Amino acid sequence: MAENRSPHILSTSANLLGICFIVLTSLKKLALTDGSLIDEFAVAAVMFFMTSCILSFISMRRQRMTSLRLEKAADFIFLSGLLVLFIATILIAFNLIK
């Protein structure tokens, strides 16, 4: 594992975090949160992407062994956030949640 993925994880997580914040703000502003699971999915994704951002940032500042463990954790958490967004998108596409 010679390449350093932390900067890529950090930038992508930060971008997706911003998108999740836009979704949450839009839902709250348009008062679409009543009886909806979309905001819960967005909050879960925010938590995953924020954790991934923090871990990847710390990973870039640590020694090599600690850095690798933090990078792997950030990578796994980032993938979990992507999975949450994917599931939410599929549920919305098939009109299972509104």
Task: Name the pTM for this structure.
Answer: 0.85
Dihedral sign computed on CA atoms, order 67, 70, 72, 78: negative
**Residue 85 vs residue 98, higher pLDDT:** 85
89: tokens are 């998108």
Burial class, 13, CB count within 10 angstroms (exposed 0-12 / middle 13-18 / buried 19+): buried
pLDDT in tens, 43-76: 999 999 999 999 999 998 888 788 889 999 999 9
Q: What is the mean pLDDT of the chain?
A: 86
CB 16 within 8 A of CB 86: no
Tokens of 39: 């905001």
